[in-house]
Amino acid sequence: MMRSINLLVLTVTVLLTACVTPEASSVPQPVLGQLKVGFDIDDTILFSRDNFLKAPHMSDNPDHIDYGWVNQHDSLYTVTIQPIAKLISFLRAHGHEVYFITARPGINGDAVARHLTRELGFDITLNENLFFSPKSKDAVSGHKYTTKHIRISELGLHIFYGDSDNDMVAASIAGVRGVRVVRDARSVEAYSKNYFGDTRSTPKPKAPYSEEEYQQFLSNGVGPYGETIYPIYFVEPAVAD
């Protein structure tokens, strides 16, 4: 009888212990000394202005373009930004992990994974080290906002590189260091919105920074959100005559 009770107590204890054992955290445990570094895609690793300019438009709204088409045409209409490819190669050579998070919608996203794999020479797989994280719109306030901070937190990134104001905001909300990759001048011309407010706008409260002030930020190495600036001076490869 005593033996049965002992067995019962043991069984209950084991069951209770199993119940209170914390489940593995959804945030992967960090490897000491290993950095997890995130990169935006457009104007950070890919100079993709021409891809966006050529993309079919679904309406008169300039932002309403066919992202399924864009995601399938990087190999034709984008150029890899070599200073960032070099930085990625440097990080990987030191055993650090590299991730990509883009605000493009994810339709045909596997084509982007294939393109980056070919360009950078290591496996880039959708939802493993490449994530699509489009903006959301709050139904009450009407604000459009970046969702990249959610993925940055889930992945446990330490640093996030991006060219846009939203990239810096996402890094800040996620509590990681944001580093501003300086957008190529041709892209500033094409998409001045969401870049230090809008450096090409006539001065107004929403866009107070002029081109001159933008250059002052660059020369001081600190952006308007207090972020570090990673200046790249991207030169398109010369085309042979």
**By CB under 5 A, how many residues form the interface with Mg ion?**
5
Closest to Mg ion by CB, 103 vs 155, is 103
Closest to Mg ion by CB, 71 vs 164, is 164
Closest to Mg ion by CB, 97 vs 163, is 163
Closest to Mg ion by CB, 13 vs 186, is 186
Phi, psi (5° rounding) for residue 131? -130, 140
Q: How far is the CB of 25 from Mg ion (least distance, A)?
A: 30
Residue 227 interacts with Mg ion (CB under 5 A)? Answer: no
CB 136 within 8 A of CB 147: yes
Task: Round to whole Å and give the CA distance between 215 and 218.
Answer: 5
Q: How far is the CB of 62 from Mg ion (least distance, A)?
A: 16
Quick one: which of 129, 140, 187, 196 has its CA closest to 169?
Answer: 196
Closest to Mg ion by CB, 44 vs 72, is 44
> In the structure encoding, which two tokens stand for residue 5, read together?
């009770």
Q: How far is the CB of 11 from Mg ion (least distance, A)?
A: 57
Task: Round to whole Å and give the CA distance between 99 and 92.
Answer: 11
Enter the DSSP assignment of 22.
P
C-beta pairs of 59-68 under 8 Å, 24+ apart in sequence: 67/104, 67/105, 67/107, 67/108, 68/107, 68/108
- Residue appearing with tokens 């409260």: 205
Per DSSP, helices labelled H in 94-147 are 109-120
Q: Residues 126-165: x/- map of binding to Mg ion (CB under 5 A)?
A: -------------------------------------xx-
- The window from 33-41, 68-76, 196-204, 226-234 that contacts Mg ion (CB under 5 A) reads 33-41
Q: Tell which one of 37, 43, 48, 104 touches Mg ion (CB under 5 A).
A: 43
∠ Cα 120 68 129 (to 5°): 35
Closest to Mg ion by CB, 29 vs 193, is 193
- The window from 6-14, 23-31, 42-50, 87-95 that contacts Mg ion (CB under 5 A) reads 42-50
Q: How far is the CB of 40 from Mg ion (least distance, A)?
A: 4
∠ Cα 150 72 39 (to 5°): 35
Q: Nearest residue to Mg ion, using CB? A: 42
Q: How far is the CB of 219 from Mg ion (least distance, A)?
A: 22
CB 38 within 8 A of CB 161: yes
Footprint on this chain of Mg ion (rule: CB under 5 A): 40, 42-43, 163-164
